[in-house]
Each structure stands twice: as C-alpha cells, then as structure tokens.
Amino acid sequence: MAVDLAHPPHVADLARRTAQFVREVVLPAEERNRAAVPSEALRRELQDAARAAGVFAPHVSAEYGGHGLDMRGRAAVFEEAGYSLLGPLALNIAAPDEGNMHLLEAVATEAQKERYLRPLATGEIRSCFAMTEPAPGAGSDPRALTTRAERIDGGWRIQGHKWFITGADGAGFAICMARTSGTPGDAGGATMFLVDADNPGMKIVRHIETLDESLFGGHVEMVFENCEVPDEAVLGAVDQGFQYAQVRLGPARMTHCMRWLGIARHAQDLAVRRSAERELFGSRLGDLGMTQQAIADSEIDIAASRGLILQACWELDQGRSAGQSTAIAKTFCAEAVWRVVDRSLQICGALGVSGDIALSRFLREVRPFRIYDGPSETHRWAIARRTLRRHTAAQAEAGAQATAATQAEAQAGAPAQ
C-alpha cells in the first residue's frame, strides 16, 4: 500500500515561502549582525519582516494571528526556519516562547489567554519556563522539584531556586513549576504559576555563561523569594503541573528537533559546497571516498531524523501521548544533528574551525540539545523501560490466553494438555 507523506498545499506553500524569507532576509541579517547575541531591536526588525512576508507565527491558531499548523505542518515550516539561527526568532517560534504558546493555548483560561498568550503570539512580549533547579532539585528527574508554593489568603507564596531558565531576562512573565503538595521525590503535587516579570519576589541572580549563545535572552539563575501571586495565576488545576508539563514537553521536544534539523541541513550544505570546490591530491575533496562516506552518512542522519519527527508528530496530531516516539525521535535527532555538524566541520578543515563560516558556531549551539528537553540517557532509560513493560504485558496476555484456552477445553470435557 502506498503511503502519501506529501504535505497539503497550504503547508508546502508556507514552507516554501519561509525558505525564501530565510534566504533573502534572515541570512543577510545574520551576516550583518555577527555579534553572538541578537539584540531586542533586531528581534523586532526580523519579526516585522516576517509579518510582512506572511510567515509569522505558523504554529498559533488564527484567533491569535497565526497559521494554526498542526505538528506535521510545523515539521515542514520549522525546519526551513531553522536553517538560520535567527529564523525561529524571526517567525516567533523560538524556544521557550513557542512551547509556552502551545501550553497556554491548551491549558489557560480565556482571561489568561488574553493577558499572556495574545501579546506572546504577536511578539509584543517574551516568556520563560522555570522548571530546572540546582542539585538536589528538579533536573532529569522532575519529581525532585523542591520549589514550594504555600496557600495564602487569595493566592499563593512561592519560594524556590531555579537555574538555566532560558530567556528569563527581559521576559514579560515566567511559567514557574512549584510543589503544592507532597515532598521531593513524589510523582505528583506540582502546580504551574504565571508570574509577572514585575513581581518583586521573582529575581534574577546571574546570567550563566554557556557553550551556546543563540537562544534569545540567555540562560539565568533566579530565585523566588516570598513571591506572592493571586489565585488567577494558577495555570490549569492545582497539583496537575506534571501532567501539563507533558502537554508542553512532547511537542516542544519535536519542535526543537525540527529547528535543529534546519541547522544540520545548513551544515551539510556548507560541507558539500566545500567538497565540490576544494582540490586535494589531484581530485576534488568530494571525489575522495572517505568524504563521500561522511556526506552520505549525514544525508542518512538528516533523512532518518525527518522520518522520526514526522512519525512522532503524526501520533501527536492524533491526540496520542506519543511518549515513546517523541523520546526516540528526540534522542536520535539530538545526536544525529551533532554528528552532521561535526562531520561537516571536519570536511571543511581549518576553515570549519574558524569564524569565517558558521560551522564552529553551529557545533557550540547544538551540543546542549543532548542535555535539555531530557538528556539522551534519560530518554534511553524511559524507552527501555517502556519496551520491557510491553514485553511483560505481552507475556502476561499470552499466559492469560493459554489459561483461558485450557479452562475452555476442560469445561468442554476435552483432556487438558
């Protein structure tokens, strides 16, 4: 049976126009602003240009000014935007805002949507997602959450310490995960709170110096000290924060994969161009067998990543949890993207290490992806546990069927064997 993987015409058209926008507007802007950290003025300039080109906010529903693409549609468009480090910022689909918009659309009340989602979707404000804590708090294991929120008259008081919170500096609000019941180690008892940036109880301690530089606003350490918020600041239901985190994390993992796949393609293009131009040992670099192997392996990594992303996105679009397929896709893509950029840099020799082309920058930017959105080891652990559970369930099912058959035979008077 033939399987049609073609995107519908409106998605294909948006992906084509996004690729054109990135090529004609974003890449030249990136070239002009080679400074590591993009400025707020550049963010606004690029977002205005994306709006004018009709490619802004492809993920948000039309009610909030977007194109309302499903996850499979996002896969096509986000990959094109991700071809440039600045592309996602221009389309307003960069982390963490894109994942927060997805979460707010799914969980927020109408009043919260008007107050937080609408200005976020238009790019008027930015946001952050505050979950991770310094040891011994939440990291790979979110159940270790130590930040607490206690009930006060008409609201809640949050106390806690967070770090690696992307985009917090300059954000209009934070979505903060805090424990409202139980103790660290418990699987439940977390609640999400919407905290306005001007809340005096939410303070940035420092900017953390990191390998990567392109995620807007950097990564900060922050504290919540007697941070009081009203009841209306609760996002969703009390004690359901871990469940809502899954609403955000599965799709957010996939959109990260889509964006970084764009960078992998960009890296491969640079390597292929170099292979076609550079003369070595009497032939083109690209005519040497080991270079061809590297180019072929990168093509395989890119194609396999795209296939795994689409499979997981299809499951998400069907309303399934897609826990296994998003974990498989995330683990594979994070490592495949790294391999592609690393091979591309090797093909380009010293030029690849230099700042004259973007490869050394790409290498720094993609490495942390094997840690955030769940480290590879955490995903492999979860994938293996689900696989073993499936095996145990299949064995129990086979055992139950055998017992039922034996009983049926006994009741029919047949000799049990």
Site map (CB under 6 A) of ligand FAD, residues 134-163, x = contact:
-----xx-----------------------
Q: b/e string for 59-74 if b means 16 or more Cβ within 10 A? A: bbeeebebbebebbbb
Residue 164 binding ligand FAD, by CB under 6 A: yes
The CB density around residue 153, as the number of other CB atoms within 10 Å, is: 5
**What is the signed CA dihedral for 50, 52, 55, 58, rounded to 10 degrees?**
90
Total interface residues for ligand FAD by CB under 6 A: 21
Q: Is the separation of the CB atoms in 65 and 121 below 8 Å?
A: yes
Residue 170 binding ligand FAD, by CB under 6 A: no
Helix axes 289-317, 241-277, angle to 10 degrees: 150
Considering only residues 85 through 114, tell me which ones interact with ligand FAD, judged by CB under 6 A. 96
Considering only residues 247 through 286, tell me which ones interact with ligand FAD, judged by CB under 6 A. none
Residue from the set 122, 197, 272, 381 that interacts with ligand FAD by CB under 6 A: 381
Residue type, 116: Y
Least spacing, CB of residue 243 vs ligand FAD, in Å: 17
Residue from the set 130, 145, 194, 322 that interacts with ligand FAD by CB under 6 A: 130
Residue from the set 131, 202, 270, 347 that interacts with ligand FAD by CB under 6 A: 131
Residue 210 binding ligand FAD, by CB under 6 A: yes
User: What is d(CA 256, CA 378) in angstroms, rounded to the nearest whole number?
Assistant: 17
Residue 165 binding ligand FAD, by CB under 6 A: yes
What SS3 state is found at 69? coil
Residue from the set 67, 126, 219, 248 that interacts with ligand FAD by CB under 6 A: 219
Q: Is the separation of the CB atoms in 324 and 379 below 8 Å?
A: no
Q: Is the separation of the CB atoms in 341 and 357 below 8 Å?
A: no
The dihedrals phi and psi of 145, each to the nearest 5 degrees, come to: -45, 125
Residue 372 binding ligand FAD, by CB under 6 A: yes
Q: Is the separation of the CB atoms in 101 and 108 below 8 Å?
A: no
Least spacing, CB of residue 12 vs ligand FAD, in Å: 32
Residue from the set 18, 127, 146, 166 that interacts with ligand FAD by CB under 6 A: 166
Residue whose tokens read 């498989």:
328
Q: Is the separation of the CB atoms in 207 and 213 below 8 Å?
A: no
Residue 387 binding ligand FAD, by CB under 6 A: no
* Cβ nearer to ligand FAD, comparing 180 with 331: 331
* Interface ranges with ligand FAD (CB under 6 A): 96, 128-132, 139-140, 164-166, 210, 212, 219, 368, 371-372, 375, 377-378, 381
